[in-house]
Structure 1
Amino acid sequence: MLAPAVPQVMRDFNSESEALASFMVSVYVLGLACGWSTSLSMLIVFRFLAGVAGSCPLTVGSGSIADTFRQDQRGKVMSIWTFPILFGPSLGPVVGSYLSEIGWQWNFYLLAICTGVLLVVALVIQRETYPPVLLERKAKRLRKQTGNDKLRSALQSTKTPGQFFFLSVARPTKMLVLSPIVFGLSLYIAVVYGYLYLLFTTMTFVFQDQYGISASNVGLVYLGIGLGQFIGLLLFGAYSDKLLKRLAKGGEMKPEYRLPLLWPGAIIVPLGLILYGWTAQYKVHWIVPILGTAMLGTGMVLTFMPIGVYLIDAYTIYAASAMAANTVLRSLGGAFLPLAGRDMYNALGLGWGNSLLAFIAFGMSPMIWFFVRYGERIRTHPKFQLNFATPTSTESVTGNSFLNEQHITDLSPKAVHFVNGSHLSSSFTIPPQFVPASRPGIFFQSVIAANAGCHHGDTRYRYQWGDSESGLPSNTPSVSPAEPSTATMIERLLNPVEIVRDQPENPFAKLVVDQRIAIVPSFTLESGVVLKNVPVAYTVRGQLSENKDNALVICHALSGSADVADWWGPLLGRPGQAFDVTRFFVVCLNSLGSPYGSASPVTNKDGDPAQGRYGPEFPLTTIRDDVMIHKIVLDHLGIRQIACVVGGSMGGMLCLEYAYFGKDYVRTIAPIATSATHSAWGISWGEAQRQAIYSDPKYEDGYYSFDDPPTAGLGAARMSALLTYRSRDSFEARFGRNTPDVLKRQSINQGQKTNGVQNEHWSIHNHGHQRARGSRDSRPVSRNGTVSEPTSQPESPDRQQTFKDPQFSGNTDFVIPVPVVEANSSKPTNHYFSAQSYLRYQGNKFVNRFDANCYIAITRKLDTHDVSRNRAPTVREALAQIEQPTLVLGIESDGLFTIAEQRELAECIPNGRLKKIDSPEGHDAFLLQFEQVNSYLLGFFREFLADIMDKPGIGGVDGAEGDVIDGVGKMTKSSTFGEAEVDDLTAW
């Protein structure tokens, strides 16, 4: 802003020093000025002191961004935050050139007015974001509310203000001196930043001397730089976060993925300098050198921004210190490099002078390649790990001592929760900086693990955090990985997972025995919807190993539950069975939308009984939502590594999504009869099934009563779904044109309870119609000739078949009339076949254990499945990102998830293999052909999980190959949630 007025200032103070003229502008980088200076020396000193104070927003702002926003959001946010910082020096000279007409002092008066107003606004609307401060405030409030003086923040410090001041100065200095990354990148940006301010200090003289532009208009030439900076910010904001996700390929988002955008800047800056210098020297039309400055502005932004966001990503909690170190060196470059500007131009001319600057910039460009190639290695090398913390206690806590203590994990005044930290090994040492002075402080196991270098599977963590009382900010959802950031620390401090055993509002949950329900305090769906107090039902079998790495995660299909023993029971148990609980810690988690305990239409909104059940207002969830919230529960269980994820159909979709956590967290996957993206065929069948539910008059837009649900529509949906789960050959072989056993004849004509003799033709025509009201002949006729509703009367006991219905109250009898052929009646042709009876049996069985709104929710979830979404341009490219050894099991007779889709998975996944289940049963063969599935999985485990399979099992059972007999267990009852039956199906 002062640049256009420099000549006037020099005249007023009778100075001809070109160095002072340049320094007067360049020192603006370090501060603002005071307009009442009476000498040039006084002006420069006051500007320096003002710059010291004015540097605070430049460093604190970046730290707030690190505290508040996830890694994959920071590129765009940094662009918005940086825009006024960069555009201000370009717009300022435009205003300053006109203000100088009434006196150069007004440049400073206007700045003082603007900053004063902004200060008041900032004090009103800005809130603290630094986690240690927020935790200490909340701990202080809780000490007052609870009377418990032992409550302490896990991040508290006993340092004095003097120690804080020393640490605040020492930490950036230590980074600048000892970290090659901070020093190297700061040096590079200091040079480019110095070029920018060299132009600021010389452009007024250049355009006045070369083009004769007046003092009042010369400020307009700075708009070229501003335009270039604006273009650069648009480019960076548009591509930075996208490039980060693309290079991450669904895995860990490394800070180094920000650096490739430095290359365009490294090319544009020298070219802009050359264009500006030579065209200005030969007095080419003034627009051409201004275009050169615009190129410099764009290149400068594409240098400044990637480095700034990289430092935030790399140093997270110490982002403000890293940016302070960067700002110091950058500001020194911006302050002192311009001092040589006018002397250089006088000696070399504008052409060669700017060419020299361009050659220096070109010469430094290999630094970009070096940090892109070796940055991660340097950043993570033990030699360059800096100890920034000042311990609050000289005592460290070992894993064993931590296991023997209880640490408060929830700052909420309503309850105090404890964890035992069992997932930490006994050899693990918690650094003393994380131990409060009194030690019974506020701790959460994930915080310790995440910040002490202990592997905890923190990648790809989705979280929503916000607390109106403490002023914590809120994050928006993402499916992308997130580094163990300060946000993650505080989220887990404030929101530990709770475990409950029952769900009073949901009778379906009672159908699954021995399951537990984890309550996740807050979870953001992929759609952006935030759910509170989210239940996630799960079962565990076996024991977690000492290394926490023997977890076997089982994912259920559409209508399955967390009770893996019900639908895959023959595979679960002893050595020789794939799901060997003597070696694996077997975990099965219920998906969102399912009625069996996890958040769904039949659970209370946000866990609040006063709000009632979600019903049709339950938000859309995705397969990725399931995987993300399951990860939270797995972390709570202390699992550090998953040996394998196994699942069929919808469960196979979850397997594929689990793979994108990376092979360090998920070692292997075994997707069965599934697909990388839900096909048009599958979407169409789902729509047809939903329409069956919608067409039931009792559906009532989803607001039906639990006492009178749309069973007809749900039963029809299940019957049509079953046709996609089996094959034509399967039905022909099982049923043909057989008629059912009289004892197992199925009818769902619940509405046929009318007086009078039924019309036989009507009965045949409407057989299987649940809402039939009786033939016209059986309905009373009113005086006006219209048919009135029949009077219902119960049928005789011998015409009824009664089932216990656990769907609603648990003791309601569900009456199904069974047609009986009278002795004197004639039946010329058979109209009722075993295939029909079996379908009705499946429909009746299903409506007793499932909810219509839940069925709609889960089928819509399937429709969203696409592994390439936000990951890669094509499905094949997305599958190519999966690194784990992958066993794909396909079924030749499967018409829903075809063998071609399984072949695509195996071919596109680099370490994938396809095995075929030989069965005519169609899609459901994976729930019926236990021997084949067991054999394939065991072979896969023995090849890729030999470290687990070869170890003795719990109780000394030897698991080495050849010491046990492979085989599955015996079915003792028909599956409730699967398809296996112990009865002869052909009798239906």
Structure 2
Amino acid sequence: MSIFRDTAFGFFLRLLSGNHLMKFPEDIPGFVPPFPVDELKGSDSSTPSESDIEKTLGQEVGETPHLVSLVIHPVKSKDGVILVDWYSTDDPDNPYNWSSSRKTIVSALICLLTFSVYYGSAAYAPSIPFVMEQFDCSEAVASLGLAIYVIGYGFGPLVWSPLSEIPALGRNTLYIATTFIFTLLVIPTALTNSLPAFMVARFLCAFFGSPPLSTSPASFTDMIPLNKLPYVLAMWSAITTLAPALGPIIAGYTLQSKDWHWSMLELLWIASPVCVCVFFFLPETSSDNILLRRAARLRRVTGNANYRSQSEIKQATMTANYILFNAIIKPWEMNILDPAILFSTVYVALLYAIFYSFFEAFPLVFAAMHGFSTGASGLAFLTIPLGLAFAIPVQLIHYKYYLFPSLVKNGPPVPEFWLRTSLVVSFLAPIGLFIFAWTASSDIHWIVPLIGVVLFQAAAYQLMNAQFAYIANIYPKYAASLFAANAAARSWLAGGAILFARPMFIQLGVGGGVSVLGGVMALCSGLLWTLYYTGAVLRKRSRFVST
């Protein structure tokens, strides 16, 4: 039953049963803390050292965990505050100590959440011609259904990321509440025949569905050891690209026999079971939240009001102005004042925007030039998972045989180290776009431009992952805020790309328009090499601390 205890299901069972079901150890009559209270000491206590704990848990070096169980005595400060910590190095409530199967289930649920939200963006794309016909509107207006969704989940990280860092809320509260609202909001998008109502519902749907898009990496970090974390993040990152690519494939064939509402009904069929699974099986992963609630239970059981968690003490100093400044103002200030951060934000945003421009380019090439049906046009997006199929194994092999051995041998590297793998593949991105641009013709077999898309997508995956690693290592203190700003920027630019791409392709032709994008990517490739060689100089001139 401990599997369900810290889930939303467990919370409601405790609430409805008056705390008789799904009890925590502290709630069981006769509970005694596993440490003698009269032995509590100050900072010079016999608490196991960090190195002992790391060796016991095997968090850093990948050793078999739980070889030794060491009791962790909480520290008692001079003013009598008792800092609540894990009871032992193998405390089962510590997410690092969960079984591999439980971590796999939790990671899979977070990936499913991410998939459902990203799938919802592009699942609408094949509906655009049908919306134009029903509402007698222009293609620009009909395309808003796609653009406004992408823009909507760009606003989410700026709100949900800082909220997820508040210890009292944790991550699960946001996941459960917003997933439920997201699922409910899909219903009006599937049923309404009012275009304004549909657009409003789409925006709100994306906004409330966006927490997994920005906080999933933090959830993985809560429970996955550092030697395995990059592998999990690599797979999650692939899902963020795979999900919108599958949308047109699945919805495209459906719309050949059903009306456009069915694309939204399919999203509802995906989101509903995910919402149910999250309710029953997704536990809290934030140590700050888990220990904060443990401290509250210890105060209640022992009658000692001095029990406090470190996160609880920290939360007392977190004012609304502090949260807003670090979440909203600080990352944009850093983008303005630090060229390296600005380049990373723009580069990733451009890669993401070009990906979404394919939703406008593909119909002009494969439907108009090659006569593909609505369903067959969607199959062109199979190039996205094909590109990932080439990129992901290379990424994982790089981690296993180069990255981790280098870290073990040489220790933490300079931030520019994380850019190395992207230097060569950076040229594949413009090459892939030029192949697509110059072969998008009815006179050339349709497989040729798709080869260009595969090359671009394989390169884009590696480029974005390298930039994310670079951001996380150049300013670790502000990594969460920088990721939120990066997510917002790429979503907003991608939403804009959906609206300006088609007019550009019509005005310049698909070949001309995509060539422009290829030229921009070629320029970015040169700037990436410049950043690699000048990054250290730029960091020395930065007013921000990079450690």
In structure 1, the partner of 2:220 is 65
1: CA distance, partners of 2:217 / 2:475: 11
Alignment of 1:7 onto 2:129: yes
Q: 1:199 to 1:2 in 2, by over 3 A?
A: same
Contact 1:221-1:290 within 8 A present in 2 as well: yes
2: CA distance, partners of 1:383 / 1:304: 25
2:311 equivalent among 135, 139, 155: 155
Residue identity matched to 2:334: L
- Percentage identity across aligned positions? 27
Post-superposition offset of 1:246: 4.8
Post-superposition offset of 1:228: 0.9
In structure 1, the partner of 2:482 is 322
Aligned residue for 2:191, secondary structure, equals coil
Post-superposition offset of 1:57: 0.2
2: CA distance, partners of 1:123 / 1:150: 33
In structure 2, the partner of 1:186 is 345
Encode CA deviations 1:283-325: one digit per residue, 9 max, x unaligned.
Answer: 3111111111111211221122222233345555754433211
Structure 1, unaligned runs of 5 or more:
387-452, 454-988
Encode CA deviations 1:547-599: one digit per residue, 9 max, x unaligned.
Answer: xxxxxxxxxxxxxxxxxxxxxxxxxxxxxxxxxxxxxxxxxxxxxxxxxxxxx
Q: 1:170 to 1:14 in 2, by over 3 A?
A: farther
In structure 2, the partner of 1:89 is 244
2: CA distance, partners of 1:5 / 1:189: 28
* TM-score of the aligned structures, taking structure 1 as reference length: 0.37
Residue identity matched to 2:221: A
Q: 1:315 to 1:137 in 2, by over 3 A?
A: farther
More strand by share: 1
Greater relative contact order (Cα < 8 A, sep 6+)? 2
Q: 1:169 to 1:24 in 2, by over 3 A?
A: farther
2:272 equivalent among 110, 116, 122: 116
Contact 1:272-1:295 within 8 A present in 2 as well: yes
Residue identity matched to 1:336: G
In structure 2, the partner of 1:309 is 469
Q: 1:178 to 1:317 in 2, by over 3 A?
A: closer
In structure 1, the partner of 2:450 is 290
Greater gyration radius: 1
Aligned residue for 1:216, secondary structure, equals helix
Contact 1:240-1:258 within 8 A present in 2 as well: no
In structure 1, the partner of 2:367 is 208
In structure 1, the partner of 2:208 is 53
Aligned residue for 1:129, secondary structure, equals coil
Post-superposition offset of 1:233: 2.4
Encode CA deviations 1:622-679: one digit per residue, 9 max, x unaligned.
Answer: xxxxxxxxxxxxxxxxxxxxxxxxxxxxxxxxxxxxxxxxxxxxxxxxxxxxxxxxxx
Alignment of 1:198 onto 2:354: no
2: CA distance, partners of 1:358 / 1:189: 15
Q: 1:173 to 1:40 in 2, by over 3 A?
A: farther
Contact 2:124-2:247 within 8 A present in 1 as well: yes
In structure 2, the partner of 1:42 is 197
Which residues in structure 2 correspond to 1:742-753 (within 5 Å)?
none
In structure 2, the partner of 1:28 is 149
1: CA distance, partners of 2:299 / 2:535: 45
Contact 2:344-2:471 within 8 A present in 1 as well: no
Contact 2:475-2:545 within 8 A present in 1 as well: no
2: CA distance, partners of 1:113 / 1:380: 52
Q: 1:303 to 1:40 in 2, by over 3 A?
A: farther
1:262 equivalent among 422, 440, 449: 422
CA root-mean-square deviation: 2.8
Alignment of 1:372 onto 2:532: yes
Residue identity matched to 1:205: L
Alignment of 1:78 onto 2:226: no
Structure 2, unaligned runs of 5 or more:
1-122, 154-181
Post-superposition offset of 1:165: 8.8
Q: 1:315 to 1:204 in 2, by over 3 A?
A: same
Post-superposition offset of 1:211: 0.4
2: CA distance, partners of 1:379 / 1:247: 23
In structure 1, the partner of 2:260 is 104
Aligned residue for 1:270, secondary structure, equals helix
Q: 1:48 to 1:355 in 2, by over 3 A?
A: same
Alignment of 1:227 onto 2:386: yes
Q: Name the count of aligned residue pairs.
A: 386
2: CA distance, partners of 1:155 / 1:149: 16
Encode CA deviations 1:902-932: one digit per residue, 9 max, x unaligned.
Answer: xxxxxxxxxxxxxxxxxxxxxxxxxxxxxxx
2: CA distance, partners of 1:117 / 1:6: 27
Post-superposition offset of 1:348: 1.8
Contact 2:222-2:285 within 8 A present in 1 as well: yes
Post-superposition offset of 1:136: 1.3
2: CA distance, partners of 1:365 / 1:311: 17
Q: 1:43 to 1:96 in 2, by over 3 A?
A: same
* TM-score of the aligned structures, taking structure 2 as reference length: 0.65
2: CA distance, partners of 1:367 / 1:45: 39
In structure 2, the partner of 1:634 is none
Contact 2:428-2:459 within 8 A present in 1 as well: yes
Q: 1:70 to 1:158 in 2, by over 3 A?
A: closer
1: CA distance, partners of 2:421 / 2:301: 51
2: CA distance, partners of 1:149 / 1:38: 57
1: CA distance, partners of 2:409 / 2:370: 54
Q: 1:96 to 1:162 in 2, by over 3 A?
A: farther
Q: 1:128 to 1:319 in 2, by over 3 A?
A: farther
Contact 2:364-2:510 within 8 A present in 1 as well: no
Aligned residue for 2:466, secondary structure, equals helix
Post-superposition offset of 1:158: 6.6
Residue identity matched to 2:527: M
Alignment of 1:144 onto 2:265: no
Post-superposition offset of 1:47: 1.5
Contact 1:278-1:351 within 8 A present in 2 as well: yes
Encode CA deviations 1:739-759: one digit per residue, 9 max, x unaligned.
Answer: xxxxxxxxxxxxxxxxxxxxx
Q: 1:223 to 1:169 in 2, by over 3 A?
A: farther
Post-superposition offset of 1:70: 4.2
Encode CA deviations 1:445-473: one digit per residue, 9 max, x unaligned.
Answer: xxxxxxxx8xxxxxxxxxxxxxxxxxxxx
2: CA distance, partners of 1:184 / 1:361: 12
Contact 2:361-2:510 within 8 A present in 1 as well: no
In structure 2, the partner of 1:572 is none
Contact 1:195-1:334 within 8 A present in 2 as well: yes
Aligned residue for 1:152, secondary structure, equals strand
Which residues in structure 2 correspond to 1:678-717 (within 5 Å)?
none
Aligned residue for 2:426, secondary structure, equals helix
Encode CA deviations 1:817-874: one digit per residue, 9 max, x unaligned.
Answer: xxxxxxxxxxxxxxxxxxxxxxxxxxxxxxxxxxxxxxxxxxxxxxxxxxxxxxxxxx
1: CA distance, partners of 2:541 / 2:400: 26
Which residues in structure 2 correspond to 1:319-718 (within 5 Å)?
319-375=479-535, 383-385=543-545
Aligned residue for 1:281, secondary structure, equals coil
1: CA distance, partners of 2:517 / 2:355: 11
Aligned residue for 1:231, secondary structure, equals helix
In structure 2, the partner of 1:127 is 283
Aligned residue for 2:543, secondary structure, equals helix
Aligned residue for 1:384, secondary structure, equals coil
Contact 1:273-1:358 within 8 A present in 2 as well: yes
Residue identity matched to 1:267: F
Residue identity matched to 1:106: W
Post-superposition offset of 1:67: 3.0
Post-superposition offset of 1:383: 1.2
More helix by share: 2
Encode CA deviations 1:378-399: one digit per residue, 9 max, x unaligned.
Answer: 557771139xxxxxxxxxxxxx
2: CA distance, partners of 1:148 / 1:376: 51
2: CA distance, partners of 1:10 / 1:239: 47
